[in-house]
Amino acid sequence: MKIAWYKKTWVTILLHSLVWILLFSLPFLLRPQDKGGNASKNGVELTAYIINDVLWVILFYFNAFVLIPRVLYPKKVGWYIVTHLILFTVYLFIMWGTSVTFRTEWKFSWGPHIFFTSLIYTFFFFASTAYQLIKDRMEAEEIQKEKENENLKTELSLLRSQVSPHFMFNVLNNMVALARKQSDQLEPSLIKLSSLMRYMLYETEGDKVSLEKEIEYLQSYIDLQQQRYGKKLKLEVNLNNMDKSYDIDPMLLIPFVENAFKHGTGFIEDPIIKIDLSAGNGYLNFEVVNKYQDQIEEIKDATSGIGLTNVKRRLALLYGKNHQLTIDKKEGWFKTSLQLKLTA
């Protein structure tokens, strides 16, 4: 996986270096310039200042990268406190050493020395702790998000794998019906079936397919069903009012059409199926209407209902609030309406 530029090591090192340079330059930028100062004296004090700064940087990273993950996180709080007390004592004497060595004209006093060292130590302690805790929290949230994305991909793959066998089961039943009737439509139906299988095997491997290919697939399925039912079924299809430059999740629309053919034919008197699809201005509108009769008890197979249940779940995972699905039964008509926000 490609690493974002702001997460690269050299960027992190550069940002940290800039922050340290700015922080340790503040005393020189804020204090008034000593025009008549002794150059050698200033050079000696600068040496002491640099040594102390290096020690504070070491404290920052030692606490962040060693003490917090290896002592604090394992809940060895007592050892964590004792370690910092020892470090603070060590720093007191190191700072005392640099003061008496490089600042010979400065009158040393332990009281102010302990006070100011404790202030600086506390600042770097809290800064280091906050940095590492926030960093670890962000990394943990990112890992959790990656896990959720992987789980989402796994679930979507499973849902998509459920679509194909269920769909193919119904299509093969259609082929069996045509073979029993010794229908002339069997050969063109097999050609259509070959086209459908080619789409399912080779065109749907990616996350998205072009809307144009999805419509071609949908049209092939409708043609296949129309060959089966012939004049027994009144079919009204409009798939032409659209901008085909958009992308869509593969095999997302077929369950609605499949459901209409499955439950809107058979024992239905004068069956009618209406399919209308339009796309433009960033939205897709899809509507499927078919007749139904409550009093007819249909014999359903064990996988009945997978189609719509499946597609509802996929829509929730993929589009969230960017879709609206309405299913309505009224006065002998079953109507599904879907609106999607599309991306080109």
What is the rounded average pLDDT of the residues 69-81? 91
What domains can be seen in the chain, in order of their start residue? 5-29+36-144 (no CATH), 157-341 (3.30.565.10)
pLDDT value for 90: 92
Count Cα atoms within 13 angstroms, Cβ side, for 54: 8
pLDDT value for 33: 58
Tell me how far CA of residue 250 lies from CA of 108, 197, 218, 324, 337, in angstroms: 77, 13, 11, 18, 18
Tell me how far CA of residue 205 lies from CA of 80, 167, 199, 226, 308, in angstroms: 53, 17, 10, 28, 21
pLDDT value for 245: 83
306, pLDDT greater than 60 = no
Torsion angle in degrees (nearest 10) through CA of 14, 19, 24, 29: 110
What is the rounded average pLDDT of the residues 204-208? 70
pLDDT value for 296: 56
pLDDT value for 124: 93
Chain-centroid distance, C-alpha 94: 50
Contact indicator for 88, 118 with CB cutoff of 8 Å? yes
4-18, 223-237, 288-302: least confident range:
288-302
- DSSP bridge partners of 309: none
The vertex-171 CA angle with 168 and 175, nearest 5°, equals 130
Quick one: pLDDT band at residue 302, thresholds 50, 70, 90? very low
pLDDT value for 295: 60
pLDDT digits (tens, 9 = 90+) for 273-283: 999 999 988 89
Between 335 and 258, the more confident residue is 335
- What is the 3 state secondary structure string of the chain? CCCCHHHCHHHHHHHHHHHHHHHHHHHHHHCCCCCCCCHHHHHHHHHHHHHHHHHHHHHHHHHHHHHHHHHHCCCCHHHHHHHHHHHHHHHHHHHHHHHHHHCCCCCCCHHHHHHHHHHHHHHHHHHHHHHHHHHHHHHHHHHHHHHHHHHHHHHHHHHHHHHHHHHHHHHHHHHHHHHHCCCCCHHHHHHHHHHHHHHHHHHCCCCCEEHHHHHHHHHHHHHHHHHHHHHHCEEEEEEEEECCCCEECCCCCHHHHHHHHHHCCCCCCCCEEEEEEEEECCEEEEEEEEECCCCCCCCCCCCCCHHHHHHHHHHHHHCHHHEEEEEEEECCEEEEEEEEECEC
**Which residue in the block uniquely carries the two structure tokens 């340079």?**
21
pLDDT value for 301: 46
What is the rounded average pLDDT of the residues 244-271? 83
> Residue-wise over 134-153: b if at least 16 C-beta within 10 A, else e?
eeeeeeeeeeeeeeeeeeee
pLDDT value for 309: 77
pLDDT value for 159: 56
Alpha-carbon gap, residue 210 to 217, rounded angstroms: 11
Tell me the pTM: 0.55
Between 75 and 158, the more confident residue is 75
294, pLDDT greater than 70 = no
16-20, 124-128, 227-231, 242-246: least confident range:
227-231
What is the rounded average pLDDT of the residues 244-270? 83
Q: Name the pairing type of β-strands 234-242 and 272-280.
A: parallel
Quick one: pLDDT band at residue 240, thresholds 50, 70, 90? confident
The vertex-130 CA angle with 127 and 135, nearest 5°, equals 125
pLDDT digits (tens, 9 = 90+) for 125-176: 999 999 999 999 988 888 777 766 655 665 556 555 555 565 567 677 777 8
What is the rounded average pLDDT of the residues 19-39? 70
What rounded mean pLDDT belongs to the chain? 80
The vertex-66 CA angle with 63 and 72, nearest 5°, equals 75
Handedness of CA 238, 286, 168, 170 (dihedral sign): negative
Tell me how far CA of residue 25 lies from CA of 42, 43, 234, in angstroms: 15, 15, 83
Percentage of the chain surpassing pLDDT 90? 23
Quick one: pLDDT band at residue 83, thresholds 50, 70, 90? very high
